[in-house]
């Protein structure tokens, strides 16, 4: 009975370790897929959720780049004296969303990085403002749409690590 309990707890320990590593790998692979899917404006189409920041006196608003053509530019600005800011709101059903920006001065204008975060995804957008004109640079998307691919990669990694560990243990027993 003692030997059966020992084997049971050893297997439980191995499965628990694999379970924890599996979910850590999913998180890691989600970020790696996000970086792999980064899109540059000069080479490819940007993500559809590309967001810019618009300033109106003391406040700022996120604006989707696809809606930019319908936007009236007269009353608003794309640059602010405040270089970094963040806004959070509740979109209903206790789903917090946030939007932040940071402005960096460059030689011929300003480079702005925005982050739009909701419960389903996070979109990072980078663009330049030169003479009140928007020039998109790149976008990156972190979404749970990538979860199936991340789970597959995590499962294959766990399987490979377990195979290597099994081969290593067999070699240790032989020597």
Name residue, tokens 């030169």: 130
Contacts of 29 (CB under 8 A, 6+ apart): 146, 149, 150, 153, 154
Q: What is the pLDDT of residue 7?
A: 77
Lowest mean pLDDT across 16-20, 56-60, 92-96, 132-136: 92-96
Contacts of 80 (CB under 8 A, 6+ apart): 53, 55, 60, 103
More confident residue, 149 or 60: 149
């Amino acid at each position: 009975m003692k030997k059966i309990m020992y084997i049971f707890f050893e297997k439980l320990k191995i499965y628990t370790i694999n379970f924890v590593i599996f979910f850590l790998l999913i998180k890691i692979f989600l970020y790696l897929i996000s970086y792999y899917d980064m899109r540059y404006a000069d080479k490819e189409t940007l993500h559809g959720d590309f967001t810019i920041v618009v300033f109106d006196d003391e406040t700022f608003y996120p604006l989707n780049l696809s809606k930019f053509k319908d936007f009236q530019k007269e009353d608003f600005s794309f640059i602010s004296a405040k270089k970094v800011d963040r806004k959070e709101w509740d979109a209903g059903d206790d789903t917090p969303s946030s939007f932040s920006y940071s402005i960096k001065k460059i030689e011929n204008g300003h480079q702005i990085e925005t982050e739009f975060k909701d419960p389903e995804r996070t979109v990072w957008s980078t663009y330049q403002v030169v003479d009140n004109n928007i020039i998109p640079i790149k976008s990156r998307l972190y979404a749970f749409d990538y979860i199936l691919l991340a789970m597959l990669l995590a499962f294959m990694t766990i399987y490979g690590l377990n195979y290597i560990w099994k081969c290593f243990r067999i070699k240790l027993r032989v020597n």
